[in-house]
């Protein structure tokens, strides 16, 4: 019987991250979920049979401190932590350049630094043939202010990471969802008009489900997906193609 793989999923307490972690635990993998909210994270981990390690993935000191609790070997890393911080912050007033800069930094920290810091911290523990999957967004192609720009930066970083991991058989890919419901992403800001405008351009005329994103991540994490690397895989019902 092959050895259990060690899986780390950041932002694994709710939504897409939780669905991803649940896919791995259901397959008999050993999973560690991380996130900022200890109570939410521990409840989710208990529900699916995972370990919980609470820390802020965008904080260098917090990531460093958490290393003692994270697996000594990492076979799969899923960088799912992030979200559009503009949906939980008050928009800066016109002409408030300091507020605008803070808003852009917030999305960069939440979406880019979280992935970069956790990946760098765990890189010495990567097994040969490691699989790194980072969550991007359709916003990287269609725009969404600082959030879209941050997800576009993830795509550029992923290319460098894939190049670094390749000689040891490792892969790095981005999964870029379109609109996905049943998550905390929208924080109560979703309107029917906005949702309808996005769903209307999807070929299947619907939003995605967290479990559908989890299935794609699970595929990319398989040992047999070793020649698929450095790519962005859109999962959006056809709303934007990989062209």
CA dihedral 42, 44, 45, 49 (to 10 degrees): 140
User: What's the rounded Cα separation, in Å, for the pair 179 and 226?
Assistant: 28
Give the whole-angstrom CA distance, residue 176 versus residue 174: 6
Beta strands in 103-224 (DSSP E): 126-135, 171-177
Torsions phi, psi for 3 (to 5 deg): -70, 140
Tokens coding 214? 């989890």
Tokens (6 digits) for 45:
């981990």
Distances in whole angstroms, Cα of residue 47 to Cα of each of 29, 43, 52, 142: 15, 6, 11, 36
- Closest alpha carbon to 84 in 18, 146, 155: 146
Q: Which one from 55, 104, 147, 185 is the annotated catalytic residue? A: 147
Tell me the C-alpha distance between 14 and 210, whole Å.
10
Mark whether 147 is an active-site residue.
yes
**Residues with catalytic annotation?**
147
């Amino acid at each position: 019987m092959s050895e259990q793989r060690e899986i780390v999923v950041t932002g694994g307490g709710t939504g897409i991250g939780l669905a991803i972690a649940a896919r791995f635990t259901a397959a008999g993998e050993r999973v560690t979920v991380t996130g900022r909210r200890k109570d939410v994270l521990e409840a989710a981990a208990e529900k699916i049979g995972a370990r919980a390690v609470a820390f802020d993935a965008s904080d260098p000191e917090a990531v460093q401190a958490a290393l003692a609790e994270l697996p000594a070997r990492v076979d799969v890393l899923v960088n799912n932590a992030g979200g559009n911080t503009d949906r939980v912050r008050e928009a800066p007033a016109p002409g408030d350049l300091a507020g605008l800069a803070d808003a852009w930094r917030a999305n960069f920290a939440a979406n880019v630094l979280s992935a970069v810091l956790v990946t760098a911290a765990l890189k010495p523990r990567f097994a040969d043939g490691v699989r790194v999957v980072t969550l991007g967004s359709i916003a990287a192609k269609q725009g969404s202010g600082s959030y879209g720009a941050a997800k576009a930066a993830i795509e550029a970083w992923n290319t460098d990471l894939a190049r670094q991991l390749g000689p040891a058989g490792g892969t790095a890919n981005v999964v870029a969802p379109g609109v996905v419901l049943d998550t905390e992403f929208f924080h109560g800001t979703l309107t029917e008009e906005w949702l309808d405008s996005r769903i209307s351009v999807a070929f299947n005329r619907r939003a995605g489900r967290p479990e559908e994103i989890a299935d794609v991540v699970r595929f990319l994490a398989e040992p047999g997906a070793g020649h698929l690397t450095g790519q962005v895989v859109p999962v959006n019902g056809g709303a934007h193609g990989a062209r």
